[in-house]
């Protein structure tokens, strides 16, 4: 199956394929201005995420 984490992706034979796919996805997110950085309200926590 496919790797379930960054660390797993970096340890498989197809590492270069995964690096390229991650770079392309990151670039698309940046080009599309997918998010805004904002200050977290006092007493609040950010949601965790998983790549």
9 falls within a domain: yes
Domains contained in the chain, number: 1
Q: What's the domain range around 18?
A: 1-30
- The reported pTM is 0.65
| pLDDT for 51 | 64
Q: Which residues contact 35 (CB under 8 A, 6 or more apart)?
A: 29
Task: Identify the segments of the chain with pLDDT beneath 50.
Answer: none
Residue 43 lies in a domain: no
Model pLDDT, residue 32: 97
């Amino acid at each position: 199956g496919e790797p379930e984490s960054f660390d797993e992706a970096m340890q498989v034979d197809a590492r270069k394929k995964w690096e390229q796919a991650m770079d392309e996805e990151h670039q698309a997110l940046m080009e599309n201005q997918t998010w805004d950085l904002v200050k977290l309200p006092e007493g609040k926590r950010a949601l965790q995420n998983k790549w």
